[in-house]
Each structure stands twice: as C-alpha cells, then as structure tokens.
Amino acid sequence: MEKISSLEARVKKLLLEMSSHNVDYSIVLSSYKVDEQRPSVQQLIEATKKYDNIGLVAGFSIDNHTESDLKQYRKWIKDGSVKGLKIYCGYEHYYPYDKRYQKVYDTCVEFGVPVMVHTGDTFSEKGKLKFSHPLNLDEVAVDNPELKIVMCHLGNPWIEDCQEVVYKNDNVYADMSGLAVGKFDHFFEELMVEKVAELINYAGEPRYLLYGTDWPISDMDSYLSFVSKLKLKKEYRNKLMYQNSKDLFNI
C-alpha cells in the first residue's frame, strides 16, 4: 500500500481516484487511534470540509477515546460533519455487546445515524478474531432494535453467518469493503462473486447491502470490476451502489 506523506495529498489522491472511476461520493472513516498514518476526526473535518462529495464516519475506541471525545462527536453529528460512528471489534479486544459501547449505540439512535462495526479478518496480526465474528452482532441488534448497524466486510470469511444476521435482523446492514487487499485475483474474485450471490439469494432483496472498497487498501478499479460481475437487476444494482448508502447515511 502506497504511503502518501500529507493528509492534503491523500485527500487529493482520493478525489483523483473518484474522478477516474466515476465515483460520485465517498465516505471516509477515521481509525480507532491517531498516529502518523491515522488522522484524527478533527483533522479529517478540516481536510475535507470544502468538498461536498466526501462524508466522514468517526471511529470510537474504548481504549483511546474519552467521554469528552464522544461529546465532541455528538456536536459533529448534530452539525452534519460526521455521518456515523464506527467501532473496531477485533482490533480492540472487546465484543460489540460490551456495555462500554452502549453509549455509542445510544448516540447513534438519538441522532438517527448508523454504527459501523468491524467484522471478520483483521488487517493486523494482533487482532483477535473471536471479538470480530459476525454472530456477535445479533445480540446488539436484538437489544437495540432502533439502532442501524453496518456489518463491515460481510464478516469475511464468515459470510454465511453474516447472511443469517442480516436476514434475521431488519436493522442490520452489511458492506462489502475490504474483501481484497490491493486487486482481486481471478480465482478469489470468482469465489467472492459466488459468495455474495449466495448471500443475496438467502437474505433476499439487497436493501441491506452497501458498496464499499476500503481504499487505499483495496483497489477501486478492481472493486468496480468485481461488482460488475454480480448478476443483479438494474433496480437492485442501484440500491447496492448508491441508494442504500444514501438513505442510511443521509447523504
């Protein structure tokens, strides 16, 4: 993965990638911690505020954020600077039903924004997979019926478990970001097309499924090629590629 020196340069690179691939709108996610490669929410707001085709989702961490941080997040959600929150189960060694996350869920319900939850494999070898299994979200969904939950990465490799959770719970969505690091190779692309097709056939009309790439970890061109191979009606493709996210994130 190419490292770009400044945040301004990274935003310009994103805009260039969007323009090159006819992507109208992107949602940028902040991490669960701040370091040289992971800017803060405040930095992201400042870097993207002049662009009306970039939205932000703020990462929240039990270990690295405070009540004061969540209070500031509330202000940004209220003024439209932040369109949702994300927690990083697996990277953080806590289940999504840990009571310390409840304040995040309550904030999302109060303002009608979604919470995104990391599920599936972790990019870091220090992640612990028992915390990121998609079945963990069933408990959160049942206990918080008004909460809109996005299961990130289809719970890959536990996509069958993901499809049951979204089928069972009307308040659970799933995004297909981060399935490949870099480009899809031919055999993995074929495999994932089959798995996503099975998910749609099982869970029904994809009102719950969101397009995403996880750029710059994942290649935009390769991702668009992958999605083009899914056999979908035009109406359903439009929901997957734009309408579902537009509705969910109030874009």
- For the stretch 94-148, pLDDT in tens is 999 999 999 999 999 999 999 999 999 998 899 999 999 999 999 999 999 999 9
Torsion sign, CA atoms 220, 225, 189, 27: positive
Tokens of 161: 């478990």
Tell me, yes or no, whether 96 lies in a domain: yes
Tell me, yes or no, whether 81 lies in a domain: yes
Tell me, yes or no, whether 92 lies in a domain: yes
4 confidence band (pLDDT: 50, 70, 90): low
Tell me, yes or no, whether 140 lies in a domain: yes
1 confidence band (pLDDT: 50, 70, 90): very low
Q: DSSP state, 243? A: I
Tell me, yes or no, whether 2 lies in a domain: no
Tell me, yes or no, whether 61 lies in a domain: yes
Tokens of 26: 């992107």
Tell me, yes or no, whether 1 lies in a domain: no
Question: Residue 10 pLDDT more than 60?
Answer: yes
pLDDT at 203: 92
Number of domains in the chain: 1
Tell me, yes or no, whether 142 lies in a domain: yes
Over residues 53-104, the pLDDT tens digits come to 999 999 999 999 999 999 999 999 999 999 999 999 999 999 999 999 999 9
Sequence-ordered list of residues with C-beta below 8 angstroms from that of 175, at least 6 positions apart, any chain: 116, 150, 151, 152, 153, 154, 209, 210, 211, 212
Tokens of 160: 């069958």
CATH number for 188:
3.20.20.140
Q: DSSP state, 40? A: -
36 confidence band (pLDDT: 50, 70, 90): confident
Question: Residue 206 pLDDT more than 80?
Answer: yes
* Structural domain of 21: 7-248
Average pLDDT over residues 3-9: 77
In terms of Cβ atoms closer than 10 Å to its own Cβ (0-12, 13-18, 19+), residue 121 is middle
